[in-house]
Structure 1
Amino acid sequence: MSTDNAVPHPREVLLGAQAGAVALPVCDHYSGVEARMRKSLALQAEMAQEFGACVFDVTLDCEDGAPVGGEAEHAALVTELALSAAPGMRVGARVHPVDHAAFPADVMTIAGRAGHRLSHLMVPKVESIDDVREAALALDAVGAETLPLHVLIESPLAVHHAFEIAAHPRVQSLSFGLMDFVSSHGGAIPADGMAAAGQFTHPLVVRAKLEIASAAHAHGKVPSHCVVTEFKDIDAMRASARRAATEFGYTRMWSIHPNQIRPILEAFSPDERQIQIATKIIAAAALAAWAPVSIDGTLHDRASYRHFWQVLERAHATGRSLPSEAQPWFAPASS
């Protein structure tokens, strides 16, 4: 359990080249109206104090938040809010699509002035790798060369290109845009396909979700699940988040109302039993120098160690309390 620099960290031993893979908070909270954006940033700071870590991103929205004709003013507001966020908080911005007239100004204002403060830039309606390249070049042009891109996959064509899009080195996360995906089918998918339950049963929607998740995992990126519009129905929210996490391979999910944040955190967090089992197995593995061990009649080796280590990492990222045996692995590195 030593944290001495001479002892490899479990992350390095078990994940190897994957140790640098993207790990993001499991909840991405969107808001675009000024009052709600300010409340979202305040809630983010409050919950960071409660959990001891920034447990959700706030993405300030220009695409749906900016009034027609007021795009420049809204981009300036988003910039000021991002710059005013509490230290250590993760704040992103969703700009207009690359083919929208406001896109260049969005990037110049937001990324140009606050790129150093942003955790990511979300680009909606990405159809192909060319759209990603255009967005990356726009960021480079304003001095935001290291700002990660998150992209929204919102059409059948984009789903077809998902693996190529996920492979781009600037792309950090792929999100599924449920509402636009359904509406892009010209009525062929019924409205129920946008509902909390229907989005998990219609074959075309299910296929799109699985393709996006698979593409993201294939390239070490984060698949982010779509919205649940019935924001007052907490049971529906919990059920959708749980299915996204346990059946569809998503490791992150959108929130569009503060009431959805905690259910997402709960659904994507390991429960106490999982945490205890993972701690027991990883502690035994470390004592055995990562050689195979038998625990409770089951053989474990590096393949299963990798899974249980990721359980602990997810528990830590969602603010769950860790057993004392696991805490040294997550202690801040000493200077």
Structure 2
Amino acid sequence: MMMKSAYAANIAAARHFLFVPGNRPERFDKAAASGADVVVIDLEDAVPAPAKAQARDDVRRWLEAGGSAMVRINAIDAPWFAEDLALAHIATLQGLMVPKAEAGDAIIDVARLSPVVALVETARGVTGIDALAAVPGIVRLAFGTIDFTLDCDLTASDRQLDPVRLAMTIASTAAGIAAPIDGVTVRFDDPLPVEMAARAARSMGFRAKLCIHPAQLSPVAAAMTASEEELERASRIVAADRAASGSAVSLDGEMIDRPIVARAYRLLAEGADGRP
């Protein structure tokens, strides 16, 4: 139980989640040494159907030998789900990432076994998002943008999906769970697109991103970390608030509203690395 609590705390604080294919066991140790806040071994999209049983066995052996990671299992209605779920009993499993997560008894049962990141990637997942976020044991929501656009038959740009991101942030805040995780950016040979996407997600209340390559970790961390300018201004606002001793706060000729003061305290409490 104590290990599960520690794993859940790490998942809640993580800025990047790095996928590694479940059928590439030679990459597990490399991913674990990559510097990713959380490594996610993928048994779903990365593994073709004929290879799923072997991949699950490889994951089990690696975990039982002392490896530690989160595992993205197959969807609750998939034929491989029950056997994937048995991995939850291995002590070094950090948590389960559940694809196509939707509110209901099934996700409640999963979340009783392990810390869960719930992937929101269907219309039903979005319409039931408040109930989903409130399930005990769900640590964070993550946005599966590619599957969501497929489910809804959308050709929308990534930024046109921001209403869903806002709904995820509101649901997470209302449920008292950690800020949501943004979906993948498919470009990994150029740091700029992934950093720009992560910064845009951060502006929508997200505090982490799913990654498909170790090269994406650094730009994601940079985007999810407060800049020196942000921290310097927050320090000045906090100093002005303390000097005001409960009176109205002003700085550089401007009145500073209480929500801005509260945000400055929160930013400094999170620290320069962006982790609470």
What range describes the TM-score normalised by the shorter chain of this pair?
0.7 to 0.9
Q: Does 1:96 align with 2:74?
A: yes
Unaligned runs of 5+ in 1: 1-19, 45-54, 140-146, 320-329, 331-335
Give the AA of the match of 2:93: L
TM-score normalised over the length of structure 1: 0.69
Displacement after TM superposition at 1:253 (Å): 0.9
Q: CA deviation at 1:70?
A: 3.5
Q: Structure 1 pair 308/67, CA: closer, same or farther in 2 (3 Å)?
A: same
- The secondary structure found in structure 2 opposite 1:152 is strand
* Percent identity for Structure 1 against Structure 2: 27
Give deviations 1:289-325, integer Å, cap 9, x for gaps.
7776544445557643431132124434448xxxxxx
Over 3 Å counting, the alpha-carbon distance change for 1:279 and 1:182 in structure 2 is same
* Structure 2 match to 1:136: 111
Matched, 1:112 2:89: yes
> Aligned ranges for residues 6-85 of structure 1 at < 5 Å?
23-32=12-21, 33-44=24-35, 56-82=37-63
> C-alpha deviations, 1:17-55, integer Å up to 9, x for none?
xxx9x84211111111323332211112xxxxxxxxxx6
After TM superposition, the structure 1 stretch with the greater mean CA deviation from structure 2, 289-298 or 208-217, is 289-298
Could you tell me how far 1:181 is from its partner in structure 2?
A: 0.9
One-letter identity of the residue aligned with 2:116: L
Matches within 5 A, 1:137-286: 137=112, 139=113, 147-186=114-153, 189-190=154-155, 193=156, 198-201=157-160, 205-221=161-177, 222-246=179-203, 248-282=204-238, 285=241
Residue 281 of structure 1 and its aligned partner are, at CA, apart by 3.5
Cα distance in 2 for residues equivalent to 1:312 and 1:78: 39
Task: State the alpha-carbon separation in 1 of the partners of residues 56 and 269 from structure 2.
Answer: 35
What's the secondary structure of 1:96's corresponding residue?
coil
Change (3 A) 1:283 1:65: same
1:151-205 CA-to-partner distances (Å, cap 9, x unmatched) read 011111111001110111211111111111111134xx22xx3xxxx2113xxx3
1:95–1:277: structure 2 CA closer, same or farther, 3 Å change rule? same
CA distance in 2, matches of 1:156, 1:132: 16
CA–CA distance in structure 2, aligned partners of residues 67 and 292 of structure 1: 61
1:55-83 Cα deviation digits (max 9, x unpaired)? 62111111124442343432233244446
For this pair of structures, how many residues does the alignment match? 264
Equivalent position SS for 1:157:
helix
Q: How far apart, in 2, do the equivalents of 1:289 and 1:41 lie?
A: 48
Q: List per-residue Cα deviations over 1:91-139 (Å, max 9, x = no partner).
A: 311111112222222121x21123xx333211111122333213135x2
